[in-house]
Amino acid sequence: MTLIMTPGAARSFEGKVAVVTGGAAGIGLATCRRLATAGASVVIADIDDEAGRAVADELGDQPGGVSFHRADVSAETDVAELFAHIRGDHGRLDIAINNAGTPGTFGPIAELSYDDWKRTLDVNLGGVFLCMKAEIPLILESGGGSIVNLSSGAGTRGFALLPAYVASKHGVIGLTRSAALEHATNGLRINAVCPGMIRTAMLEEFSGSEDALDRMGRAAPMGRLGVPDEIAEAVTWLCSESASYVTGLALAVDGGVVAG
């Protein structure tokens, strides 16, 4: 599925600086493309050097410029270096998309090791916390802006055999709402997006087969999987002035799953 940005939305982020964690693939990559096309200066943060540099090269001719900085969002020193880089190179930050994540280990709670539990929480929830801790002061210095955290449909309901992932994504929504209330009056809007089953490399690896992917798609009320561009569209809308009265929202983009 191809989504087309309308002419009125084009270049709507000119002069803005954005960071996208997990920006080298999937939803993060689609979001980088939309922000860059709309005029933002985009910093891609990812643990995959090769993919991150390839995306920066692909989008390098966009007016605002696109760069890559390697960072593991679960490592406090990496996060500190990332935002020191943004401050040094750009002097400001207007938009932050906290998208980096891991599916964690599939299996029952009684068989999940504490190390696996901690790793999933450290990336999916700890990474959002560490990034927001650095993003908030920088965005406020710039006069305000927007943060969007990627939760999941698994942040709105339970799923058997994914305990750490589900717990982490519920936590992202709680953290988003708390932070949104802290900053509701100072020009910083903080929201979450909760994707349903979106066709990404992560989902393909998790599902293991085309048949499984097909079953996942048919299970949604709309009868299909989503695509990364559909999530990127929601994310960039939340970052835009069109969403100027929206904060603390956990927006489900899931083909109707939450409604069922």
> Would you say residue 256 lies in a domain?
no
> Would you say residue 129 lies in a domain?
yes
> Would you say residue 22 lies in a domain?
yes
> Would you say residue 216 lies in a domain?
no
pLDDT in tens, 12-36: 899 999 999 999 999 999 999 999 9
More confident residue, 208 or 8: 208
CA triplet 168, 170, 172: central angle to 5 degrees?
A: 70
Mean pLDDT, rounded, for 51-75: 96
Q: Which of 13, 68, 129, 165 is catalytic?
A: 165
**What's the confidence (pLDDT) of residue 4?**
41
With cut-offs at 50, 70 and 90, classify the pLDDT of residue 260: confident
> Would you say residue 206 lies in a domain?
no
Mean pLDDT, rounded, for 152-177: 97
With cut-offs at 50, 70 and 90, classify the pLDDT of residue 8: very low
**What's the confidence (pLDDT) of residue 1?**
42
**What's the confidence (pLDDT) of residue 103?**
93
Q: How many domains in the chain? A: 1
* Residue range(s) defining the domain that contains residue 182: 12-198+228-251
C-alpha dihedral sign at 22, 74, 16, 248: positive
**What's the confidence (pLDDT) of residue 202?**
80
CATH at residue 170: 3.40.50.720
pLDDT in tens, 76-111: 999 999 999 999 999 999 999 999 999 999 999 999
Judge whether 114 counts as a catalytic residue: no
Cα separation, 191 vs 225, whole angstroms: 23
**186 three-state secondary structure:** coil
Q: Three-state secondary structure along 76-133?
A: HHHHHHHHHHHHHHHCCCCEEEECCCCCCCCCCHHHCCHHHHHHHHHHHHHHHHHHHH
Kindly report the average pLDDT of the chain as a whole number.
94
C-alpha 250, offset from chain centre: 13
More confident residue, 201 or 58: 58
Structure tokens at 197: 């089953």
Cα separation, 14 vs 41, whole angstroms: 8
**What's the confidence (pLDDT) of residue 176?**
98
With cut-offs at 50, 70 and 90, classify the pLDDT of residue 209: confident
With cut-offs at 50, 70 and 90, classify the pLDDT of residue 228: very high
Classify residue 85 by burial, with Cβ atoms within 10 Å: 0-12, 13-18, 19+.
middle
**What's the confidence (pLDDT) of residue 6?**
43
